[in-house]
A = this chain, B = another copy of it.
């Protein structure tokens, strides 16, 4: 079958057309992809649609049998809601209350699976990555923003809306007087530890800070504080850390050891460096977790 996937981000929509097999759920084969800049909803959605139509025609595979979308948010995921498949209260100009899923469902006349970008990535890691065989785990992205997808009791968590894990408050590290970058909560986790927060605190973009810069020690500490909180609340079997900042070499290993400190010896199952290293890991799909995750969502329609 042919599957369409969109990693719908605030900067770009990455669209992919995949050859997939529902009988064994093996990792699908990427046939073609295109990156569309996120401008206005009308323009961005149309350009994404054009890609699916032209690529499937060029490849001679017919239009997608289903489409999966992992979107920036917040999004409306309540199936019974009249605004299901919309991006809702985002601060991104022009995208408040923008219909996304319905656009593709109508124009391609296919089922569309719609979820948060991080839930999609979590689902991709479950099928083909570092969460294979687990029933309770978290996927966190640390980059321009911080968000998390949660898989619990063998499925993605939605609940009242969907997790917004980047917005928990953390105790400040002594001596850190940076006020925080979150427009809603100032010094929440995202406000203190996202890429832009690192840039604003140190006066240099995160990518420009060398591996010995003190910024990384502080960053690892905040990540560890957050992951300890997630551990106490959710008791996941593993936490995957992706995103531009999160994938930085060595960071996951450093954070893992600090998580042990933050837990204070309370969780016996995480009482050794070896166990902690297996607990905080990088996603196996790496930078492709988002796009493959969206493809994974699309496959939910043939998995019943």
A residues neighboring B (CB under 8 Å): 74, 88-89, 135-136, 148, 150, 152-155, 157-172, 184-185, 225, 228-237, 264-270, 279
| Separation of A188 and B161 alpha carbons in the complex (Å) | 27
The answer to whether B237 and A165 touch across the interface, beta carbons within 8 angstroms, is no
* Residue of A159, A167, A236 most packed against chain B (CB within 10 A): A159
The answer to whether A169 and B235 touch across the interface, beta carbons within 8 angstroms, is no
| Separation of A173 and B35 alpha carbons in the complex (Å) | 46
CB of A130 to closest CB in B, whole Å: 15
CB of A180 to closest CB in B, whole Å: 11
Residues from chain B with a CB closer than 8 A to the CB of A152 are 152-153, 157, 159
27 of the cross-chain contacts (CB-CB < 8 Å) are A88-B268, A89-B268, A136-B158, A136-B160, A148-B233, A152-B159, A153-B155, A159-B234, A159-B237, A160-B236, A160-B270, A161-B269, A162-B235, A163-B232, A163-B233, A163-B235, A164-B232, A164-B266, A164-B267, A166-B232, A167-B232, A168-B232, A169-B229, A170-B171, A184-B264, A184-B266, A233-B234
Residues from chain B with a CB closer than 8 A to the CB of A169 are 170-171, 225, 228-229
Additional A-B contact list (10), CB under 8 Å, known A150-B234, A229-B233: A152-B157, A159-B234, A159-B237, A160-B235, A161-B267, A163-B235, A167-B266, A169-B170, A233-B234, A234-B234
| Separation of A165 and B233 alpha carbons in the complex (Å) | 5
The answer to whether A153 and B157 touch across the interface, beta carbons within 8 angstroms, is yes
Residues from chain B with a CB closer than 8 A to the CB of A230 are 233
Name A159's contact: one of B88, B171, B236 (CB within 8 Å): B236
Q: Which residue of B lies closest to A76 (CB)?
A: B268
Q: Which residue of B lies closest to A270 (CB)?
A: B160
Residues from chain B with a CB closer than 8 A to the CB of A270 are 160
Residues from chain B with a CB closer than 8 A to the CB of A74 are 266, 268
| Separation of A152 and B151 alpha carbons in the complex (Å) | 10
| Separation of A170 and B153 alpha carbons in the complex (Å) | 27
Residues from chain B with a CB closer than 8 A to the CB of A171 are 169-172
| Separation of A225 and B188 alpha carbons in the complex (Å) | 12
Q: Which residue of B lies closest to A167 (CB)?
A: B232
The answer to whether B237 and A269 touch across the interface, beta carbons within 8 angstroms, is no
